[in-house]
């Protein structure tokens, strides 16, 4: 009960429904009775006391209309125990967890989001910049503009369609919040006049993405500055109940609840609460984090040039292997040109082990090459292991001095690993060079793990 009142109670005051869910979760999982998982169970119970409508692919007409709260809890329990969530997840409060588990997506979509980002852009998971962790996928992958929204597929989830076809501010903010929830990061919508943005938790404090800074929007119907102050004070868990107690006294005496000085203060106890909250913030020396992505809220590409980090590649990362059957395997990062990350071509660690290459949808087109030794002359079937999040992607490859490149139709893998259909290239015995470029009218990102060249018999 103490936990319940400290997180503002059940949604719409439906405590009875919340406790029924809480009991069902603890019956479904003995692990939900203490520590992180008990806090998570309570958060799910309180948020789902009012059923949350589930967003399903439009083709799935028989899908459940509402998110099942017990399944939602079990999904995050499994992901947490498997180490799939953000390292900060274990330290969140019940209030924080409420803003993770309240999404409209299916559990299958949440699992897809984690796997897709691990496969396609793993650097967005490991970046030390918590302001952009996970949500940077909006900047790099979600094209600005609504022209392609008509190509949304009824068999795909809404969020899969967003990363495939892009969108304007609303769809981009929706995807940003979705991918944050996938990894257990609390997030809320943060509208500002004529524009949709988001705000999310980080170890340093809550941060705005894709919009103007603090003072230009609202969160849950309140000025965002008031939300910021509340989160800064809540971070001091031992002191924040003092603020709440003063507000509760004000509630009993009939004072209109005030959430911050900018909302207006009504009554002595609300004033006490807000002044105590401000004192807690000052004592903690809390600092507001500046918004990020302000220049791409309504733009496709940032005018601020990203710093491209040098990547150290080992000899093993670049090792080209020729099997006894004559099959040649070339790691995607074993380029002879370029030899390190560029604005367009990024080398990054792979969840499959070793390294992988990502051809960025942003920046100017760039070619890449591989120089290697073939054991015998002849025709070889070339295939690549790839990940894509958009259809209609192409790779063009020319071997040595070939004037006409072969067109590799890259499959739409929906964020999973797959292989391209083979194309034939002619190699000479000894030194060969493969020249790669991109083709097509709608060039988007493609991730490559390796190439195989199999002798054609």
Q: Say if residue 260's pLDDT is above 80.
A: no
Q: Mean of the per-residue pLDDT values for the chain?
A: 95
CA neighbor of 388 nearest in space, from 417, 368, 408, 351: 417
What is the spatial distance between Cα 45 and Cα 104, in angstroms, rounded to a whole number? 15
Hey, which bits of 185-311 come out as E strands?
Answer: 187-189, 198-200, 207-209, 218-219, 222-223
CA neighbor of 158 nearest in space, from 169, 147, 172, 140: 172
Per residue in 90-105, pLDDT tens? 999 999 999 999 999 9
| pLDDT level of residue 306 (50, 70, 90 thresholds) | confident
Across 269-273, average pLDDT = 91
User: Strands of 187-189's sheet, edge to edge?
Assistant: 187-189, 198-200, 207-209
Across 54-64, average pLDDT = 97
pLDDT number for residue 256: 80
Across 333-340, average pLDDT = 97
Cα 143–Cα 101–Cα 130 angle in degrees, nearest 5: 55
Q: What is the dihedral of CA 415, 420, 421, 422, to 10 degrees?
A: -170
214, 262 in Cβ contact below 8 A? no
Residues ≥6 apart with Cβ < 8 Å to 60: none
How many residues are there in the chain? 457
**DSSP string of 131-162?**
TTTTTHHHHHHS-B-STTGGG--TTS-HHHHH
Q: Say if residue 302's pLDDT is above 90.
A: no
What is the spatial distance between Cα 154 and Cα 51, in angstroms, rounded to a whole number? 24
- For the chain, what are the domain ranges? 1-104, 321-455
Q: Say if residue 262's pLDDT is above 70.
A: no
Helix (H) or strand (E) holding 453, with range, is strand 446-455
| pLDDT level of residue 264 (50, 70, 90 thresholds) | low
The CATH number, out of the four listed (2.40.10.480, 1.10.10.60, 1.10.220.110, 2.60.120.260), of the domain defined by the range 321-455: 2.60.120.260
Across 114-143, average pLDDT = 97
| pLDDT level of residue 263 (50, 70, 90 thresholds) | low
What is the spatial distance between Cα 217 and Cα 71, in angstroms, rounded to a whole number? 34
Per residue in 208-224, pLDDT tens? 999 999 999 999 999 99
9, 95 in Cβ contact below 8 A? no
Across 294-316, average pLDDT = 89
CA neighbor of 294 nearest in space, from 170, 141, 139, 178: 139
Give the global pTM: 0.95
C-alpha dihedral sign at 323, 329, 333, 337? positive
Distance from the Cα of residue 74 to its chain's centroid: 21
Strand-pairing partners, residue 345, are 359
Relative to beta strand 406-410, strand 328-331 is unpaired
What is the spatial distance between Cα 258 and Cα 83, in angstroms, rounded to a whole number? 40
Q: For residue 338, which phi and psi values (nearest 5 degrees)?
A: -75, 165
Percentage of the chain modeled with pLDDT above 90: 89
Q: Say if residue 35's pLDDT is above 90.
A: yes
pLDDT number for residue 265: 65
Per residue in 363-372, pLDDT tens? 999 999 999 9
C-alpha dihedral sign at 119, 122, 124, 125? positive
């Amino acid at each position: 009960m103490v936990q319940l009142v400290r997180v503002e109670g059940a949604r719409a005051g439906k405590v009875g429904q919340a406790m029924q869910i809480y009991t069902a979760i603890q019956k479904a999982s003995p692990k939900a009775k203490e520590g992180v998982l008990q806090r998570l169970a309570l958060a799910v119970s309180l948020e789902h006391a009012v059923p949350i409508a589930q967003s399903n692919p439009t083709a799935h007409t028989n899908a459940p209309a509402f998110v099942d709260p017990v399944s939602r809890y079990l999904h995050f329990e499994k992901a947490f125990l498997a180490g799939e969530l953000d390292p900060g997840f274990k330290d969140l409060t019940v209030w924080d967890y409420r803003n993770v588990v309240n999404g409209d997506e299916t559990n299958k979509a949440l699992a897809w989001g984690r796997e897709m980002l691990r496969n396609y852009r793993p650097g967005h998971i490991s970046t030390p910049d918590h302001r952009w962790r996970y949500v940077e996928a909006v900047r790099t992958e979600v094209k600005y503009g609504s022209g392609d929204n008509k190509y949304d597929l009824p068999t795909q989830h809404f969020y899969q369609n967003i990363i495939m076809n892009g969108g304007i501010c609303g769809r981009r903010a929706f995807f940003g919040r979705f991918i944050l929830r996938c990894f257990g990061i609390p997030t809320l919508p943060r509208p500002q006049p004529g524009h949709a943005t988001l705000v999310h938790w980080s170890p340093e404090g809550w941060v705005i993405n894709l919009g103007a800074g603090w003072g230009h929007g609202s969160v849950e119907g309140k000025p965002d500055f008031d939300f910021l102050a509340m989160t800064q004070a809540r971070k001091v868990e031992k002191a924040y109940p003092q603020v709440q107690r003063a507000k509760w006294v004000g509630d009993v005496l009939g004072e209109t609840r005030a959430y911050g000085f900018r909302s207006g203060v009504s009554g002595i106890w609300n004033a006490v609460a807000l002044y105590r909250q401000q004192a807690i913030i000052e004592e903690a020396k809390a600092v507001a984090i500046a918004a990020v992505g302000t220049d791409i809220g309504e733009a496709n590409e940032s005018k601020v040039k990203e710093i491209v980090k040098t990547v150290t590649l080992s000899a093993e990362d670049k090792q080209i292997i020729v099997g006894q059957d004559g099959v040649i395997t070339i790691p995607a990062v074993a380029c002879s040109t370029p030899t390190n990350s560029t604005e367009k071509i990024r080398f990054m660690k792979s969840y499959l082990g070793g390294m992988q290459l990502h051809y960025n949808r942003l920046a100017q087109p760039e070619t890449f090459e591989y120089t290697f030794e073939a054991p015998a002359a002849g025709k070889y079937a070339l295939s690549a292991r790839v990940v894509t999040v958009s259809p209609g992607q192409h790779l063009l490859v020319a071997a040595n001095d070939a004037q006409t490149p072969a067109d590799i139709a890259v499959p739409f893998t929906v964020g999973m690993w797959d292989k391209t259909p083979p194309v034939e290239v002619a190699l000479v015995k000894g030194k060969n060079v493969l020249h790669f470029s991109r083709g097509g009218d709608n060039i988007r990102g493609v991730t490559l793990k390796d190439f195989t060249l199999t002798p054609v018999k």
